[in-house]
A and B are shown apart, each in its own frame.
Chain A
Amino acid sequence: MSALRISAALLAATTAIAAAQSDEYARERAALLREIERTVTQTARETGRAQLDRRVLEVLGRLPRQLFVPSALRDSAYDNRPLPIGHGQTISQPYIVALMTDLLQPQPDDVVLEIGTGSGYQAAVLAELVRKVYTIEIIAPLGEQARERLAQLGYKNIETRIADGYHGWPEHAPFDGIVVTAAAAQIPPPLIRQLRPGGRMVIPVGSAFFAQTLMLVEKDDDGMVRSREILPVRFVPLTGQSP
């Protein structure tokens, strides 16, 4: 057998394996979407969302999440759970990503700020739905990896920065939406100022692997700020009769 034939066979085999893997991930993505949709229906009362925006689900259905997790965890990329991405950070549970994105109510002309780039997955999801995404990461190696990853995936409408997210990105303010994907110790007043009246800010509350609730901060046209905390779980602490 000639070297050429061997190479051709190897190439074919490699392509077949890649295709098979791709199919495998496609199946896993579809299964994950079904699970997310089912969960959203079950938690409609808690979240106020009977169903998610179809565009959000479509994006989750085509984004290669396996490219945003460490290679050792690729087989778990479509498990509906948070995964470690190094430096003590996690990539959020897909259901939470879907819900956070949906709560932001992204529109095609929106400009969105993300605090906590992490793996870049949330930024990529948003970039498919809005005009421009600005994303800030405080941990330099993570921010650099995410920048490279997003560039390789061809995202032109995402701008990354390694900096303190507290101050937001005033040069590009106001923002139609702000998503704080890092669990927040405080809600920075500059971010509230950079939110456009009528805009929405979504923040997970909790710690790594334990993002228990989502906080939706809304700024009305008069600049008044109110927040709502959403437990994304069909769970009521008390089932008995309260007086």
Chain B
Amino acid sequence: MSAGLRLYLSVGLLSAAALAYQLLLLRLLAIVQWSMLAGTVVSLALLGHGASGTALALLRGRAAALAPPLYVAGAACFALAAPLCFALAQRLPFNALELAWDAAQWPRLAAVYGLLALPFFFAAACFGLAFIARGRDIARVYAADLAGAALGAAGLTLLLWWASPQTMLRLVALLAALGAALRPLHPHAQRPAGRLQPYALALLAGAVLLVPESWIAPKPSPYKGEQQLLAVIGARRLEQRSSPYGTLSVVASPRVPLRHAPGLSLQASAEPPPQLALFTDGDAMTVITAPGDLRYLAQMTSALPYALRAAPRVLVLDSGGGEAVRQAFALGAVAVTAVEPNPQRFALVRDGYRDAGGAVYTGPRVRAVAADPRAFLRRDRARYALIQLPPAQSFAGSGAGALAGAEAYLYTVEAVGDALDRLADGGLLAYTQWERLPPRESVKLLATVIAALRERGVAAPGARLAMIRSWQTSTLIVKNGALDAREQSAIRAFCARLGFDLAYLPRMEAAEANRFHRTARPYLYEAAQALLSPQADAYIGDYKFDVAPARDDRPFFFQFFRWRTLPELLGLRAQGGVALLDVGYLLVVATAVQALLYSLLLIGLPLLWLRGAAGDPRWRTGLYFAALGLAFLFIEIVWLHRLVLLLGHPLLAASAGLSAFLLFAGAGSAAAERWQARLPRHAIAAAAGALILWLLLLEALWPRLVDAAAVWPLPLRALAAVLALAPLAACMGLPFPLGLKRVSVQAPQLLPWAWGINGCMSVCAAVLASLLAMHFGFQSVLLAAAALYALAAMLLR
């Protein structure tokens, strides 16, 4: 094999391994903790890259001479570090749920972060060494790097259908080991030392394969629902399956029945038949209920719409184990369409546990679909008398704020509009939510629904709404039309019979609220009255949690944190006030802070140390590369969030998005380097201008693309995503190398400084972008990115 081919192959393998590892961490972290940590993964990779660049800068002239052995060592270290660092990280006694209580958790979080970033350091060091050693081939090396990354992303996403995450972790390590074994920078592969190559490879591969399964099998937090259930006497896991959508477990608890019945009345006269628990990533429990006495399904708040409609045609979104489908048939539905987003969970319930679950997804009156519920709403043309949305997550997850940083595109103003479009005249849209005190989800849902109705031109949205609550859940009904007197009295009778409280009915008296399950004040009643009044905006602004309507531009429905409430809650620590903080949000903030500290420590400080040799930095250069670091990641992270709406799952979005950005930004950079001499003087400004124009064009076209793509198969949607982002990413790849070239000509001593500032800002921006998007929306973050690119263009004209 020629030296060139060995190099391209090795770089490609290592790049595939590094990107697959990055995506794999999204899965592994979601299994071990909640998806709360997943948002940190991009910044981990960037930190590794930044720190490796600094290390190479510190080596100065010696890097080229040492490149051959260091490359092999780096790739081998990645092969070992990928599984071992994960094994070590998950053994650290870090508990995200204790962050608010226990200061000792913070250094542990930092240790987890550092450990997980280490493999990226080794991989990135190899790429840097390859560029240094083969400067003349840089375009091809770059191409191999990008092609490898794209293949790694696609390959991992496909293989996760067949292999468990821990098996993929070994495979990732083996790819890197193979990359090391190719010894691509050694001039002659068969030099004497090369004889050791097969043995070294065998040893490395053996080490990777011999890493005990128990070390790398993800160990879920003992506070996750599945672990809690497995601790119960007699409980056992029946089956586990894995896919890019998550790891599914079916757990039976024959000695201590599950009795899962969200919002069951305290007056209930029946209890559920035997149930199997179905967990996704060890949490988000849904149940498969055996045939039997289903009277309990009529005694939950979610049964309210069936008290108003006889024999409805029902659509159940996010149907999970099918309990809402069972409820629909038990309460008289003539036909049910069930939409379940996870195809593997869908198959498990429909086929694997068909009999155990009462054949809930089969039968002549059921139309069961495995699809993203939001996309289904947009492409379906049927109309329904009732659309039901069960609680979106586990009760425990809700309490901990585990989904604070996750997109929830089914709970936005636009999603409410899509659902209302599918309602027949007089049809009902029913949301059931876990209830917390002080209320958050239910208030935000009310605000979101009212905003959707107002935007559809409904002058009196209050006439169409009803809301009831139990001690555990609330159910909100939105009618396609005004609720009439007969329906209102049916709601009152339903509540009186089952001991549920009225939270809102048109023209209800305050005395009707807060009767059975009393709170200090009738919070939900007050919220509904306020949100329907002209003072709605002031009410939302004054509320101590973020309950502003969620929109597709800010789809973080479960994000309630407000900075101004933080001092008060911390002051109430002794009373348990920290329990009112959403730990998911805290974790993102903590990660942003430690990303800044790590990047300053590993990138900034070493380069500062180099300053003596490099001369004083110039603010213009520093600002230029800082702006690029922030702007690039702002755009990338926003689009990773946005692609979830198109592709239906964060991992698929990350896979397509990262591939697009790496491939085309890399191609843009390579083109810039190759044709630098021919590029016009104002190339930076031209690139910035072009990308801002493309950003604007995407803003205009994106909603239409999402609408049109609703009927497309997943591969076509993924391709559309990549193609839509390609010109943007290509333009984004230009300013960095063009700037470096300018600096290398005008002030070469500033190169490490420029590079380091860009690295620091990139690491921070990866987390900061999500935080800003939660508060200000995607468009604001993109606007900031456009402004930063414009600033950069002005700085280095």
Contact = CB atoms under 8 A, between A and B. Distances in A.
Interface of A: 35, 38-39, 42-43, 45-46, 80-82, 84, 86-89, 93, 95-96, 138-140, 162-164, 166, 183, 185-189, 192, 205-213, 215, 217, 225-243
Contacts of A228: 517-519
B578 to A, nearest CB: 8
Contact of B538 (A89, A234, A240): A240
Interface residues of B, number: 69
A129 to B, nearest CB: 22
A207 B395 contact: yes
A237 B545 contact: yes
Nearest to B438: A237
A238 B539 CA distance: 8
A207 B621 CA distance: 50
B294 interface: no
Contact of A242 (B95, B97, B529, B579): B529
Contacts of A206: 399, 579
B590 to A, nearest CB: 16
Contacts of A209: 97-98, 100-101, 223, 400, 579
Nearest to B398: A207
Among A39, A164, A186, A241, which residue has the most Cβ atoms of chain B within 10 A? A186
A238 B542 CA distance: 6
B437 A212 contact: yes
Contact of B576 (A212, A225, A237): A212
A186 B260 CA distance: 8
A210 B572 CA distance: 14
B567 to A, nearest CB: 12
Given A88-B223, A88-B227, A139-B233, A240 B539 contact: yes
A208 B260 CA distance: 18
5 contacts: A42-B575, A88-B222, A166-B257, A212-B436, A229-B471
A205 B471 contact: yes
A170 to B, nearest CB: 16
Contacts of B395: 185, 207
Contact of A189 (B268, B438, B520, B542): B268
B437 A207 contact: no
Interface in B435-452: 436-439
Contact of A226 (B232, B518, B543): B518
Among A88, A164, A166, which residue has the most Cβ atoms of chain B within 10 A? A88
Interface string B520-540: 110100100110011100110
B542 A185 contact: no
A32 to B, nearest CB: 10
A226 B516 contact: yes
Contact of A225 (B269, B400, B499): B499
Contact of A138 (B256, B260, B577): B256
B676 interface: no
B569 interface: yes
Interface in B399-431: 399-400
B233 A140 contact: yes
A227 B517 contact: yes
Given A166-B259, A187-B266, A238-B544, A212 B579 contact: yes
Interface in B678-709: none
A207 B96 CA distance: 13
Nearest to B102: A81
Contacts, number: 176
Given A189-B266, A212-B579, A234-B572, 9 more contacts: A84-B98, A88-B224, A186-B259, A192-B266, A209-B223, A226-B518, A233-B577, A235-B572, A242-B526
Contacts of B436: 212-213
Contacts of B471: 187, 205, 215, 227, 229
Given A162-B233, A227-B517, A238-B544, A210 B400 contact: yes
Contacts of A230: 520
B231 A39 contact: no
A50 B332 CA distance: 51
Contacts of B583: 210
A228 B471 CA distance: 9
A243 B533 contact: yes
Contacts of A207: 97, 223, 395-397, 399-400
A129 B797 CA distance: 80
A139 B232 contact: yes
B280 to A, nearest CB: 17
A231 B520 contact: yes
B493 interface: no
B248 interface: no
A87 B437 CA distance: 27
B568 interface: yes
B359 to A, nearest CB: 26
Contact of A240 (B232, B255, B542): B542
Nearest to A215: B471
B530 A242 contact: yes
Given A166-B256, A232-B576, A210 B399 contact: yes
Nearest to A227: B517
A229 B517 contact: yes
A152 B535 CA distance: 61
Contacts of A227: 266, 471, 516-518
A80 B574 CA distance: 6
A226 B568 CA distance: 31
Contacts of A217: 266
B489 interface: no
B271 interface: yes
Interface in B535-594: 535, 538-539, 541-545, 568-569, 572, 574-577, 579-580, 583
Contact of A235 (B499, B516, B541, B580): B580
B568 A235 contact: yes
Contacts of A232: 575-576
A176 to B, nearest CB: 19
A237 B399 contact: no
Contacts of A231: 437-438, 519-520
A105 B266 CA distance: 22
B214 interface: no
Nearest to B99: A209
A228 B518 CA distance: 5
Nearest to A217: B266
A225 B266 contact: yes
B231 A93 contact: no
B228 interface: yes
Interface string B212-239: 0000000001111001100111000000
A228 B101 CA distance: 27
Contact of A39 (B223, B472, B575): B575
Nearest to B101: A81
Contacts of A166: 256-257, 259
Nearest to B535: A243
Contacts of A213: 436-437
Interface string B257-279: 10111001011110100000000
Contact of B233 (A45, A138, A212, A233): A138
